[in-house]
Structure 1
């Protein structure tokens, strides 16, 4: 028996979402203490009682692309010791992490953007001012992990290609969508966001096969990991929490546009993917 590919969840394909704000600098002393206090207060308001120490690390651009086809230079930066607050309810796995140079909000209980945006906005409103009063924003990033699954019996005859979900496009190679064997693809680029700032877009597609649930049932999985980031400069006006929230919404819309460019029409309908090109 061969089933069609389906989204990982009933209404969508998203396993995990994270929204990050990375700063150009590190908090210390009383400035860091104020963020700690704001984070603890925010966690209580949002009923996120589980705390754990955290060490953050980030990959940041070291120099822009030289313009001759070579990629921009990057380096790894450890953003210092901080903490993570999470929900106690395992059916709603969400929370936020804060270090001396980064704030990250994430959930594995995503349903629609509005619900996540409200959660994100509350944390930005409470915690972000403690950072931007002292260090500038370097970049913001929005990441999605999507999953599509198919279960088949041991017979591999008439097994459909991965193209049932992924279509060939300028981002996806034809060989991947037409083949039956597992494959991997990665692509990334910079694009203009406005006159002074640019976006980084990364798109990873991985396909996999395993006998996860039964020795007689093969599960085929497609993982799509997308990252859209906005790089500075961020003026003082840009660092207001409501404007940062708006920028995250624009990154969300761009993420949908990128996803729609690689998904078949039938899968877009299955996850109710609608793209407003006017917002890109």
Structure 2
């Protein structure tokens, strides 16, 4: 065999990382305006200067001729940083590098130029700490979630792209039939488990084989989506914390370190030892996660 599986970036395989906090209900108008004002201050200061608010199509039938118009749909606002340079991987110029998505019922932060866990955590803490301080005055956190999207591309003939050269054949999280298939396939699984401090934890692992067009050539690729979500009960915030939005915010944000560690452990059980070494996990931690 002349080809091999190559991670999406030179140093790691992470295509994107996303974190989110979902609320028990939508915030009221007063809290929503406070959240938006806060996001309009902290996001541009951190380089997320492109603001997108999805439009809603409204059709008026009040006159003889129906009139369609777009009106700003202010229930969800995206604050984005656009890529202005190439990071050594497959990030294209003009694409979204990172974005903060502020909604009435949740907040999300996604990085498409992820490098290491610590700077990602610092950026997320900056955004979430400020926004949760406003939202948790009137709502409680329902769940916290982290998603890692990894991708590998085979640099040889598609007929030689064996899943066993990348994935762990003994993994309980991969359908066994996948290792005998030569064509495209999917392996999706999920389950609930116990987690300290949470009502229950949801685990989802989705592995998809697809052919991507790279430099005008179809390349076999394997994408791995690892999801860890903690569903938080009413008792997650103690009586001492529930009346202190700042303390409640810090408690929620601190939960992401545990989710990150769980996602890292799952990924190590999906890829084989050779792949783990290739992306810096041979010493027990993925280098880009440290």
- Give the TM-score band, short-chain normalised: 0.7 to 0.9
> Which residue in the other structure is 1:64 paired with?
none
**RMSD (Å) for aligned C-alpha atoms:** 2.3
Moved more, 6-15 or 29-38: 29-38
Q: Do 1:256 and 1:275's aligned partners in 2 also have CA atoms closer than 8 Å? A: no
> Which residue in the other structure is 1:252 paired with?
260
> Which residue in the other structure is 2:141 paired with?
137
Say which SS state the counterpart of residue 170 (structure 1) adopts: coil
Offset, 1:244: 2.1
Offset, 1:45: 2.3
Distance (whole Å) between structure 1 residues aligned to residue 250 and residue 192 of structure 2: 25
> Which residue in the other structure is 1:197 paired with?
199
Distance (whole Å) between structure 1 residues aligned to residue 20 and residue 153 of structure 2: 28
Offset, 1:128: 1.0
Distance (whole Å) between structure 2 residues aligned to residue 98 and residue 199 of structure 1: 24
Q: Gaps spanning 5+ residues in structure 2: where?
A: 56-72, 86-95, 286-290
Q: Do 1:139 and 1:231's aligned partners in 2 also have CA atoms closer than 8 Å? A: yes
Match of 1:87 among 70, 81, 88: 81
Say which SS state the counterpart of residue 141 (structure 1) adopts: strand
* 1:245/1:49 CA distance change after superposition, 3 Å: same
Offset, 1:152: 2.1
Distance (whole Å) between structure 2 residues aligned to residue 116 and residue 54 of structure 1: 26
Match of 2:278 among 253, 257, 270: 270
Distance (whole Å) between structure 2 residues aligned to residue 231 and residue 81 of structure 1: 23
Q: Do 2:3 and 2:157's aligned partners in 1 also have CA atoms closer than 8 Å? A: no
Say which SS state the counterpart of residue 125 (structure 1) adopts: helix
> Which residue in the other structure is 2:2 paired with?
2
1:225-236 aligned at under 5 Å gives the runs: 225-233=225-233, 234-236=236-238
Distance (whole Å) between structure 2 residues aligned to residue 161 and residue 28 of structure 1: 52
Say which SS state the counterpart of residue 207 (structure 2) adopts: strand
Distance (whole Å) between structure 2 residues aligned to residue 199 and residue 179 of structure 1: 32
Moved more, 191-200 or 223-232: 191-200
Is 1:21 aligned to residue 21 of structure 2? yes
Distance (whole Å) between structure 1 residues aligned to residue 284 and residue 269 of structure 2: 10
* 1:211/1:31 CA distance change after superposition, 3 Å: closer
Say which SS state the counterpart of residue 134 (structure 2) adopts: helix
Q: Gaps spanning 5+ residues in structure 1: where?
A: 56-78
Q: Do 1:143 and 1:226's aligned partners in 2 also have CA atoms closer than 8 Å? A: yes
Q: Do 2:154 and 2:161's aligned partners in 1 also have CA atoms closer than 8 Å? A: no
Offset, 1:141: 0.6
Offset, 1:221: 0.1
Distance (whole Å) between structure 1 residues aligned to residue 133 and residue 191 of structure 2: 31
Distance (whole Å) between structure 1 residues aligned to residue 200 and residue 186 of structure 2: 27
Say which SS state the counterpart of residue 206 (structure 1) adopts: strand
> Which residue in the other structure is 1:162 paired with?
163
The structure with the greater share of residues assigned to strand is 1
Distance (whole Å) between structure 2 residues aligned to residue 207 and residue 262 of structure 1: 14
TM-score, structure 2 as length reference: 0.79
Distance (whole Å) between structure 1 residues aligned to residue 251 and residue 83 of structure 2: 31
Is 1:49 aligned to residue 49 of structure 2? yes
* 1:160/1:53 CA distance change after superposition, 3 Å: closer
